[in-house]
Amino acid sequence: TCKFIRNTQARFCNRKRCPDWITPTVQHLVQTHLNIIRKISRYLPVTDIAFEVNRFAFMHMENPEAMGVDFQNGPLKGYGDVKEAIRTQQHGKCLMCKKPISHFHHIVPRSRGGSDTIQNLAGLCPECHTKVHTDTAFRKDFDEKKSGQLKKYGVLSALNQAVPFICKKLLEEYGEEHVHFCRGLDTSLIRTALGFEKTKKNQMHEVDAYCIGLAALEVNEVETPAFDHTFQIRQFRRQDRSIIHHQTGRSYYQGKEKVAQNRKPGFEQKTTALSQWYEEQVRIHGEKEAEKLRSQLRVEKSCRHYNDMDRFLPGAVFLYEGKRYVLSGRITNGKYLRACGQGMKNFPAAECTFIRHNAGLVFI
């Protein structure tokens, strides 16, 4: 292998990210905002854009009364060391089995540069600590529980990263004289002055959009609309990898009864595998009879489902009895369709006409 790399430039240490690099998740969030504006501009004569700029302070979300120097007080304030803080965070109990904490596990070992921080430590009992190092399945459960504690504000963190890039792109595309900004506090004050209050069931997004326009454009005297006729845009996935990768496992039948699937249990398989079925037969009938029963099984080979790339996915638009609907799913092997906002109502596929594929952002 050496002859192919000898006397060539090292390529593993000269890869640099561009200054404006952001994660794919944040990039998708930025692009979606820009696509919505472009889509609306196809239908309405948009001249100016009002944008509410918010940055979420996580310390405020934990303690609404935090002020000034409070933002410098991290999660270790009031504790003698990190282990004491972890005991309080986990209520003195093992993260996995709720026994008293006696060991502290480093997620990234200190031998590999792991730190003694709350993010990298977890309190465990001796038995669970041993399992984390020896049992792969147990380690996976542990990682999920620990990551759940750390991802408390993951979505809001992505939004904090996206906002500056959205602002930059808007200014580049539409110019400084046509892009106006306001704060969330301004929007809230205007919404309250107009007599609207948010609830959990009604977030009043259309009212917020109206108030953002008033705040950013500095409009004072205007007649408030009734908000009785609003449009909703929903984003749909344009690929469904779970269906693309779908594969039916090998099946084993005893007469007409299906007794097992796959030779060994697949990932998260809930049905019985052949190895499990055979062990059960050995326990009941003995090894000789179990071998005989296994030799009599009928086998159906596994098969992979290949989907037509032109198929209609959720988000496609169809007509039924002259009315427009947006596809949300199919049932009964595609004989009936379901539509967004129509509950459990079934639409016969034979009587429906598709007029548009999923375009990602769709008017509901």
> What does pTM read for this prediction?
0.57
Q: Tell whether the model's pLDDT for residue 76 goes beyond 80.
A: no
- Max Cα-Cα span within the chain: 91
Highest mean pLDDT of the ranges 83-92, 116-125, 242-251, 321-330 = 321-330
Cα distance between residue 27 and residue 6, in whole Å = 38
Which residues, listed in sequence order, are joined to residue 93 by a DSSP beta bridge? 100
Highest mean pLDDT of the ranges 71-85, 173-187, 296-310 = 173-187
Q: Residue 132 corresponds to which tokens in the numbers above?
A: 């984390």
Neighbours of 214 (CB within 10 A): 20
Q: Residue 305 corresponds to which tokens in the numbers above?
A: 């489902």
**81 vs 76, more confident:** 81
Question: What band does 71 get if pLDDT is binned at 50, 70 and 90?
Answer: very low
Write down how long the chain is.
364
Question: What band does 1 get if pLDDT is binned at 50, 70 and 90?
Answer: low
Least confident of 26-40, 170-184, 247-261, 299-313: 299-313
Q: Tell whether the model's pLDDT for residue 146 goes beyond 90.
A: no
Cα distance between residue 57 and residue 183, in whole Å = 14
| pLDDT tens digit sequence for 184-199 | 888 888 888 888 887 7
Which residues, listed in sequence order, are joined to residue 53 by a DSSP beta bridge? 183
Cα distance between residue 262 and residue 251, in whole Å = 6
- Cβ atoms of residues 182 and 213 within 8 Å: no
| Percent of the chain topping pLDDT 70 | 83
Cα distance between residue 72 and residue 265, in whole Å = 51
> Mean pLDDT over residues 246-271, rounded?
88
| pLDDT tens digit sequence for 311-340 | 888 999 999 999 999 999 999 988 999 999
Q: Residue 189 corresponds to which tokens in the numbers above?
A: 């004050």
Predicted local confidence at residue 356, as pLDDT: 93
Q: Is 50 helix (H, G, I), strand (E, B) or coil?
A: strand
